[in-house]
Structure 1
Amino acid sequence: MPWRCQPQHRLTLYWSVIAPEKSRAQIEAEKWILVVPYAPGKYCLPLCTLPFRRWMLFIASFVAQFCNGSLYAWSILNPHIDSYIQGRSMDAMPTQNGTGSGSQSTSSLPPDQKAVVTFYVAAGVLGFAAALSGPFVERHGPRHSLIVALCLLFVGHVAAFLSMQYKSYVGLYIGYGVFCGAGYGIGYIAPVSALMKWYPDLRGTAGGFAVCGFGVGAVAWGDVYEPLIAAVGMNCFFLVFGSIISGILLISAFVLRTPPPNYVVSGRNVHGVKVSMPPTESEKLQGHSESTERVSVVLEEIRNGNYMNVFDYQKQELGEAEILYHNKVKSLRIRECVFSIEYLLLYLVFIGAVATGIILMSRVFSIGKGVFRQDDHKLTHLVMYLALCNFLGRLVCPLLSDAFIQIAQLNPAFGRKIIVGLLLVDQVVVLAFLKSLIQDPNAFGLFQVVVFFLTFSYGGAIGIMPSLLTDMFGVYNSGTMHGIILTAWSICAVGGGLTFQHYFFKIKDSYPMEQMREGETAAYIFNFHWLMVIACIGLALVPLVRTNPVDRFYPGYQYSVCGRPLVRITKKDY
């Protein structure tokens, strides 16, 4: 019956992204810095008569990601939440009561560590919310998407506030973990998707700047949490903090937008194709016809084996290969992108690039304390420096990829793939050093240096991925592709973190108490081994990601090296 097909049809429509059209009222409203909608298709008069410039999106995106970075600082809240809900002091030490029975008073015991589960729930939901909301972000734009995100965040913080009143961990897991996790996921990809469209000439720089605020927010909000708890109390913390970041995100949402129709900058449109001026309707039809004819010529060359005639294009050329590439990328459907071999390989490469960084960043303090016997002051500074390296990696590596592509005149996707490969090489080398350094209690200085390199490469991989996905799968699929690949981050944060913790305690507890340091060292070395395996797998898969347009869109499968096909499997009906 027809109605039985409706849910499937709606699902198909949802995952089919069509470039949204803008009304005249929206175009006029978006000429100013703040765009405030009050009804569908209706906008308030300009609240600020400052004309909009695309560089303003850098600030709005940075601020939005800065707020999202508050999730990274959750570990500071764990002891305060556990102490408040369980009614135990954070500084409590196990002592015997006065009965002489050997039993301990409940209030004298340190609180159980249950609040940390909230972070795992939120981190897991973040990735999957980003994946599922990708088509919504592309269809409705960054402004509406960020408003939805801040609403989820506010509801989540209110639910967390009520959970503190009723001292309920379950309410905290659902309220903050699910609602705020979903809000962080949507709020993470919305600014990135917008900047990818505004900066076809500097995609790497734009993507890196969009995500670097996340790392800065983790450090900054960590310094805010303690004074805010002291001022308003743990019982009111979530209500106050949720109101603060919701207000900040609302202002950022009013600034974010997608480009106007026929947008061209530095001679390129949103897809990165070189154009001389916005085309008229007749020119569009004529250009489409000419493009189709030239693409047919390219395909004929492929069929005849004249591979060198259509070899990978250089950035400043507008030859048949680039025309083929951009026309194919623009026509890609989401399911074609998601189920492509390239995306599967990129997903695994991304896991290899972020697993070590995200797992070790949360354990550097413990390593410094248990293995190197350093004081809290030094380790606190180390954590801050790591956050700075994470920030620099997210910003500098994408910027370097733009410069590398421009100087070497490379296919953008190929240039960024090289940078990702170098970042993975760095991680493999660092892990090899860590296995030996951690056995020397006097090597803390060198340990800090190699961990700085590790964190920089971790941030670089996160920063460069949005622009690489846009180059590979098109500007209107980038939000969805970026959202789905963030599930890899969630898997590493939750699954990888729990796996690391499981083996750490299993190996450590097998040693006697007087050999605690040796037990911790052995546990870390074992975990470094399987992390290196993951990084090596990611590195080995990088060359298999095909960025050459002829290989990618060959009718079948083709893999080439230096312009010569090594593997060629042609479809039977071609």
Structure 2
Amino acid sequence: MRDLPQSRRMREIAQESALFGRRSFQDHANHAARSVIGMVLDYFSHTEYRPSPFQVEKDRYVFFGLIRCREWMVIPAGIIIQFCYGSVYAWSIFNAPINHLLEPDSDKGGAEITFYIALGVLGFTGALFGPWIESSHPRKSGIIGILVFYSGHLTTALALFVRLFSLLYFGYGFVAGFGLGVGYVSTIEAVSKWWPKARGAAAGCAVMGFGGGALAYSYINKLLVQHTSLPTAFLILGSANFVIMLLCLQFIAPPPPGHNLDGIPMVSAKDHARLCGEETMIEEAKQHTTNIHSLAASLPAVKMPLAEALKSRDFWLLYIAFMSNIVFCLVVLSNLPSMISRLFGRESSSPRDTPIPAYVAVSIEGGFNMFGRVMVGLISDNIGRKATLLILLLTQIIALICIPITVNDGSFWWFLVLIWIATICYGGGFGMIPAFLSDMFGINNMSSCHGIILTGWSIASICGGLTFTSSINAHIKHGGKPYDTHIYFVNFMWMLALVILGFICCLFVRSSIRDRLFPSLPGQIMRMRVFGRVFRVLWTYDSSHSGDGSCAPSGNSKTNRCCLRLSKSCRHLHFEYLGKEEEQAAWEEYLMLRAVQSRLMQDQSN
């Protein structure tokens, strides 16, 4: 009996030990989770390349230290590197031969999925490695991209030799896609940083090579398929690309420190202003100046952390708009030969030869893709990124409405013309988006933001491409004919809906620091910039309007206002389309209040 208390005590000790053990394990797990999160946050916080003085001096010379670096050199080097990476766009030439080699029933397809996987991996690789690319030397990230891309070609050759679809997906889809992601982002980032005053044109020139890859490699791939075996074709293609890209990479170097503005400038150069952070002191405020232009001139540029950029609703609205701009042509790029054959050619309801072969149409499409990247980037430097993207989306909406009509009428040439026009918009989106992101979030965040926004490319490639291919294959499996047009019309309609959604999202993107920080009024519901002027909707209690829905101009003749009475109370729905002078006055008042706030905060801290 005397042993009972001791036994009870032993059980209590055992229970306490077990509880302590569980708590210790839980605390250890929580600590490990916090450490992992901290490492991730730290990784995405360092997005700036900081070379040593020795490295800066070394980067003054390129091509193994033999040639003095000039800013124009990066353009042709970047174009050629992107040209080799752009060989992925001519993948559709390999679809039929690979299907015949690996799949007895070639109508089921399977090779097309490789293209979707490669572009899917490209986007997510760019997102994951964006901060590392931004903070590393461009030749370091470039050589890794080239080596992995070459490894993907070697693995693809092996997959075709042993006739395994799974190894094909891994080799060209995952391995080559990984190399594409690293190489694509690092090359564009290096070229764009050399041309801060014409970033849209510079980025457009760089990605022009990527679009041009489809133009040349359509012929190259066709010749390789005709004169060699498929494994040998990928060995030749990968080896040639490896040598060419490795040589061109030697001309890539980062610009010297101070070449780019450290932050985001104000959109209006007329203000001579730079917006400061909350802790920055303004010398004119110290002197109690009342000159807004003198005051604004002392404000530094805005430095936006990457985390703040990624949390911004403007980034995700732009993400949707970008993805919507590319989904249609992304699907067409990998399916154009089969679409031409089934809708107008040998596999159509009335078999016949098309006016031009399918591979020629693919090559011409690559030319429009290449042309759009440069042209749209240059246009965006002059009329603005947002206005340019809206034009691209609107053009695609019109094209998607008209394409089913051309298919139904059997108008081969009008079908191709609309496809090529849409391809200009597709390539233009890629040419403009790096400069768009740089303008919105700063040059030091460009690679990281660009990598993340390229996941929209991945989603559009995987989801859009697989949806299109699966719907066609399911239609054929259930007794439908490959040339039935209604299954294509269904696909065109969901793509049209997505492009319209992208157009709406783009309308609400605040593409500049000024738009994002423009002061809101009490009761404001929404604000957006339309044709260069601010349009906003807000609730007011102004009783000066009759409430019958009529419009009346304000005292400022350049500002249009309209009030709509929605109830018997004095509450009105108020619409404003601000004139340039009124917008400028409101913005200068905001800058002055911000300057005074900074002064007061520093006085309190002292």
1:476 aligns with 2:476: no
1:183 aligns with 2:173: no
Give 3-state SS (helix, strand or coil) of 2:257's partner: coil
Provide the TM-score with structure 2 as the length reference: 0.73
Give 3-state SS (helix, strand or coil) of 1:362's partner: helix
- 1:30 matched residue in structure 2: 59
- After superposition, where does 1:546-565 map in structure 2 within 5 Å? 546-553=510-517, 559-561=527-529, 562-563=533-534, 565=536
Match of 1:158 among 136, 154, 162: 154
Match of 2:68 among 43, 51, 74: 51
- 2:192 matched residue in structure 1: 196
1:491 aligns with 2:459: yes
| Identity across matched positions, percent | 31
Deviation at 1:552, TM superposition (A): 1.5
Deviation at 1:384, TM superposition (A): 2.0
- After superposition, where does 1:242-253 map in structure 2 within 5 Å? 242-253=238-249
Report the AA paired with residue 181 of structure 2.
G
Report the AA paired with residue 55 of structure 1.
W
Give 3-state SS (helix, strand or coil) of 1:255's partner: coil
- 1:418 matched residue in structure 2: 387
For residues 532 and 84 of structure 1, do their structure 2 counterparts lie closer, same or farther at Cα, with a shift above 3 Å needed? closer
Contact 1:198 1:270 in 2 (8 A): no
Give 3-state SS (helix, strand or coil) of 1:257's partner: coil
Contact 1:197 1:270 in 2 (8 A): no
Aligned length: 488
- CA distance in 2 between partners of 1:82 and 1:135 (Å): 39
- CA distance in 2 between partners of 1:433 and 1:322 (Å): 51
- After superposition, where does 1:345-356 map in structure 2 within 5 Å? 345-356=317-328
Report the AA paired with residue 477 of structure 1.
N
Give 3-state SS (helix, strand or coil) of 2:527's partner: strand
- CA distance in 1 between partners of 2:323 and 2:57 (Å): 43
Give 3-state SS (helix, strand or coil) of 1:476's partner: helix
- 1:463 matched residue in structure 2: 431
For residues 257 and 370 of structure 1, do their structure 2 counterparts lie closer, same or farther at Cα, with a shift above 3 Å needed? same
For residues 502 and 171 of structure 1, do their structure 2 counterparts lie closer, same or farther at Cα, with a shift above 3 Å needed? closer
Match of 1:522 among 475, 486, 489: 486
- CA distance in 2 between partners of 1:432 and 1:67 (Å): 34
- 2:402 matched residue in structure 1: 433
- 1:99 matched residue in structure 2: none
- 2:304 matched residue in structure 1: 332
Deviation at 1:12, TM superposition (A): 1.6
Report the AA paired with residue 427 of structure 1.
Q
Deviation at 1:273, TM superposition (A): 5.2
- CA distance in 2 between partners of 1:294 and 1:542 (Å): 38
Deviation at 1:337, TM superposition (A): 1.2
For residues 238 and 380 of structure 1, do their structure 2 counterparts lie closer, same or farther at Cα, with a shift above 3 Å needed? closer
- 2:252 matched residue in structure 1: 256
Give 3-state SS (helix, strand or coil) of 1:21's partner: coil
- After superposition, where does 1:101-112 map in structure 2 within 5 Å? none
Give 3-state SS (helix, strand or coil) of 1:559's partner: strand
- CA distance in 2 between partners of 1:547 and 1:288 (Å): 19
- CA distance in 1 between partners of 2:155 and 2:473 (Å): 33
For residues 454 and 560 of structure 1, do their structure 2 counterparts lie closer, same or farther at Cα, with a shift above 3 Å needed? closer
Contact 2:47 2:135 in 1 (8 A): yes
Match of 1:216 among 212, 216, 223: 212
Report the AA paired with residue 552 of structure 1.
R
Query: Which stretch of the first structure deviates more once superposed, 69-78 or 231-240?
Result: 231-240
- After superposition, where does 1:251-330 map in structure 2 within 5 Å? 251-263=247-259, 269=261, 292-293=281-282, 327-328=301-302
- CA distance in 2 between partners of 1:9 and 1:290 (Å): 25
Give 3-state SS (helix, strand or coil) of 2:61's partner: coil
- 2:381 matched residue in structure 1: 402
Report the AA paired with residue 436 of structure 1.
I
- After superposition, where does 1:111-130 map in structure 2 within 5 Å? 113-130=109-126
- 1:537 matched residue in structure 2: 501
Partner deviation per Cα, 1:428-460 (whole Å, 9 max, x = no partner): 11111112222102x222222222211111111
Deviation at 1:187, TM superposition (A): 0.8
- CA distance in 1 between partners of 2:297 and 2:432 (Å): 22
Match of 1:375 among 344, 353, 366: 353
RMSD, aligned α-carbons: 3.4
For residues 323 and 400 of structure 1, do their structure 2 counterparts lie closer, same or farther at Cα, with a shift above 3 Å needed? farther
Deviation at 1:111, TM superposition (A): 8.5
Partner deviation per Cα, 1:66-111 (whole Å, 9 max, x = no partner): 111111122222333344456x6xxxxxxxxxxxxxxxxxxxx659
Match of 1:143 among 116, 125, 139: 139
- 2:564 matched residue in structure 1: none
For residues 176 and 110 of structure 1, do their structure 2 counterparts lie closer, same or farther at Cα, with a shift above 3 Å needed? closer
Deviation at 1:254, TM superposition (A): 1.8
Contact 2:527 2:534 in 1 (8 A): no
Provide the TM-score with structure 1 as the length reference: 0.77
Contact 1:74 1:119 in 2 (8 A): yes
- CA distance in 2 between partners of 1:444 and 1:454 (Å): 16
For residues 502 and 12 of structure 1, do their structure 2 counterparts lie closer, same or farther at Cα, with a shift above 3 Å needed? same
Give 3-state SS (helix, strand or coil) of 2:444's partner: coil
Deviation at 1:532, TM superposition (A): 1.1
- After superposition, where does 1:382-397 map in structure 2 within 5 Å? 382-397=361-376
Report the AA paired with residue 559 of structure 1.
R
- CA distance in 2 between partners of 1:72 and 1:156 (Å): 15
Deviation at 1:260, TM superposition (A): 0.9
Is there any run of 5+ residues in structure 1 with no aligned partner, and where?
A: 37-45, 89-108, 275-286, 302-308, 311-317, 405-414, 569-573
- CA distance in 1 between partners of 2:297 and 2:330 (Å): 37
For residues 238 and 544 of structure 1, do their structure 2 counterparts lie closer, same or farther at Cα, with a shift above 3 Å needed? same
Task: Name which one, 1 or 2, has greater alpha-carbon Rg.
Answer: 2
Deviation at 1:567, TM superposition (A): 6.0
Deviation at 1:196, TM superposition (A): 2.2
Deviation at 1:427, TM superposition (A): 0.7
For residues 239 and 270 of structure 1, do their structure 2 counterparts lie closer, same or farther at Cα, with a shift above 3 Å needed? farther
Is there any run of 5+ residues in structure 2 with no aligned partner, and where?
A: 1-27, 267-275, 346-351, 540-600, 602-606
- 2:559 matched residue in structure 1: none
Deviation at 1:141, TM superposition (A): 2.7
For residues 454 and 295 of structure 1, do their structure 2 counterparts lie closer, same or farther at Cα, with a shift above 3 Å needed? farther
Contact 2:93 2:218 in 1 (8 A): yes
Match of 2:414 among 416, 438, 446: 446
Partner deviation per Cα, 1:208-249 (whole Å, 9 max, x = no partner): 111111111122122222433555533333333322212222
- CA distance in 1 between partners of 2:415 and 2:465 (Å): 21
1:134 aligns with 2:130: yes
Give 3-state SS (helix, strand or coil) of 1:395's partner: helix
Give 3-state SS (helix, strand or coil) of 1:256's partner: coil
- 1:104 matched residue in structure 2: none
- CA distance in 1 between partners of 2:225 and 2:398 (Å): 41
For residues 218 and 421 of structure 1, do their structure 2 counterparts lie closer, same or farther at Cα, with a shift above 3 Å needed? same
For residues 6 and 295 of structure 1, do their structure 2 counterparts lie closer, same or farther at Cα, with a shift above 3 Å needed? farther
Contact 1:196 1:470 in 2 (8 A): no
Give 3-state SS (helix, strand or coil) of 1:55's partner: helix
- CA distance in 2 between partners of 1:455 and 1:250 (Å): 30
Deviation at 1:4, TM superposition (A): 6.0
Contact 1:505 1:523 in 2 (8 A): no
Give 3-state SS (helix, strand or coil) of 1:192's partner: helix
